């Protein structure tokens, strides 16, 4: 029989936890000791005299010397919007009815700079500005912002300061090992915020990817609370077809603003050709009016109704055959069908890509028919079961 005394294997772990807790407490007390020990209360008059009026770069939306993230899914329009903002700030051109203060823009192109070049060439033609003269300056390199800060400071001073610095993307300039680590994410955000101290007190806009499997209602940048704590606002880009809603989630310091909408357009440009002289399509953003949004919504609904009518009339057609019947590209049919499937209106056989309407889809089709009849000024004819 073994008479050796029992050993509590948790004792060493508990001892380590206790020492860690003591160390954290001592560190917190040490930091408190660095706070000013002499203080005085201010009168209401003295306190309110310290108010500093907001200085907007984009009226009501983006303040000078603030640090913002712009979070959106891959392909969601972040870069297209960022390039449009760069052009409008450099030109002092309003965004619709929203005033924009003119100023120099610095663009840190750390991710896919070749794509950025194509978009910028196309944007110059379609937005009608001279890309050889516009006050936008690009950094085509990944650098350590913390280690290169003094060099950056020197270069910005040589340029005469900046009003807006865009960083594309957060991942490209991340200096840690894990973007989702809270400590590293907080340090990364503070590194980026330091750029607001450069000459001109620029606004800093950091393009960020969301956390894994993030949904549209939860577009927060990687790093969670530690990252959000360091920004002044987290803008979001939510794409629906070719329209992107620009708003915010999680945090925004300042007065509420209405959603801003942009249209993503596939375009070509005279100066954008391949080695064979063929035009290269690329994507740019442009502001879209309320009427434009309404038109997009109508076309979206009409696409869905047209496709449902055809699927009911000729069930079992493939995407290619549906596109030929409707006179629309196969890719557009796929996009519309994906929406119908997501909303539970249609089902598709994986092997053949042949579609049919669900019961919910048949009900929705009746509503489509009724809306069409009302718009045409005809009485609504009940659909027989």
Residue 384 maps to a domain = no
Higher pLDDT, 366 or 269: 269
Per-residue model confidence as pLDDT tens digits over 328-355: 888 888 888 988 988 899 988 876 778 8
- 144 and 66 within one domain: yes
Highest mean pLDDT among 101-105, 357-361, 372-376: 101-105
Range of the domain at 359: 292-375
Each residue of 286-322: pLDDT tens digit? 999 877 777 777 778 888 899 999 999 988 888 888 9
Integer Cα distance of 206 and 199 in angstroms: 18
On whether both 188 and 279 belong to a single domain, the answer is: yes
Q: Are residues 262 and 355 in the same domain?
A: no
Query: Rounded to 10 degrees, what is the CA torsion of 135, 136, 137, 138?
Result: -170
Same domain, 233 and 354: no
CATH number of the domain bearing residue 322: 1.10.10.10
Q: Which residues pair with residue 237 across a beta bridge?
A: 246
Residue 37 lies in a domain: no
What pTM was estimated for this model as a whole?
0.77
| Residue pointed to by tokens 């079992």 | 316
Domain stop point among 238, 255, 288: 288
Per-residue model confidence as pLDDT tens digits over 194-237: 999 999 999 999 999 998 889 888 999 998 789 999 999 999 99
Any idea which residue has 């009746």 for tokens? 366
Structure tokens at 361: 């889809």
Classify burial at 171, counting beta carbons within 10 Å of its beta carbon; exposed 0-12, middle 13-18, buried 19 or more.
Answer: middle
CATH number at residue 127: 3.40.50.300
Q: What pLDDT was estimated at residue 6?
A: 44
| Euclidean distance between CA atoms 202 and 359, whole angstroms | 55
- Residue 354's pLDDT is 82
Helices assigned H by DSSP within 93-211: 113-126, 149-159, 182-193
With b meaning 16 or more CB within 10 Å and e meaning fewer, what string describes 235-260? Answer: bbbbbebbbbbbbbbbbbeeeebeeb
């Amino acid at each position: 029989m073994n008479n050796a005394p029992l050993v509590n294997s948790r004792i060493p772990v508990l001892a380590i936890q206790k020492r860690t807790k003591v160390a954290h407490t001592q560190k917190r007390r040490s930091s408190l000791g660095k706070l000013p020990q002499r203080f005085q209360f201010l009168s209401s008059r003295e306190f309110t005299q310290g108010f500093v009026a907001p200085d907007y770069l984009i009226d009501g939306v983006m303040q000078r010397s603030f640090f913002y993230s712009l979070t959106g899914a891959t392909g969601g329009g972040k870069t297209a919007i960022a390039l449009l903002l760069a052009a409008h700030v450099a030109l002092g051109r309003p965004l619709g009815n929203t005033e924009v203060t003119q100023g120099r823009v610095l663009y840190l192109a750390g991710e896919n700079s070749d794509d950025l070049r194509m978009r910028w060439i196309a944007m110059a033609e379609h937005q009608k500005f001279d890309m050889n003269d516009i006050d936008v300056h690009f950094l085509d390199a990944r650098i350590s912002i913390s280690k290169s800060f003094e060099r950056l400071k020197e270069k910005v001073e040589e340029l005469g300061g900046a009003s807006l610095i865009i960083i594309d993307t957060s991942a490209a300039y991340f200096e840690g090992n894990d973007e989702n680590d809270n400590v590293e994410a907080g340090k990364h955000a503070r590194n980026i915020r330091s750029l607001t101290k450069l000459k001109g007190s620029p606004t800093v806009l950091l393009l960020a990817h969301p956390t894994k499997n993030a949904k549209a209602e939860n577009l927060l940048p990687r790093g969670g609370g530690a990252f959000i704590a360091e920004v002044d606002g987290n803008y979001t880009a939510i794409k629906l077809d070719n329209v992107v809603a620009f708003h915010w989630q999680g945090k925004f310091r300042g007065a509420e603003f209405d959603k801003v909408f942009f249209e993503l357009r596939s375009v070509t440009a005279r100066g954008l050709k391949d080695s064979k002289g063929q035009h290269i399509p690329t994507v740019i953003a442009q502001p879209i009016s309320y009427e434009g949004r309404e038109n997009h919504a109508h076309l979206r609904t009409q696409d869905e109704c047209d496709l449902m009518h055809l699927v009911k009339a000729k069930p079992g057609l493939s995407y290619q055959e549906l596109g030929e019947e409707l006179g629309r590209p196969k890719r557009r049919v796929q996009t519309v069908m994906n929406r119908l499937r997501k909303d539970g209106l249609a089902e598709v056989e994986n092997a053949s890509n042949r579609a049919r309407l669900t019961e919910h889809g048949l009900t929705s089709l009746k509503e489509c028919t009724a809306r069409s009849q009302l718009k045409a000024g005809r009485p609504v004819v009940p659909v027989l079961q």
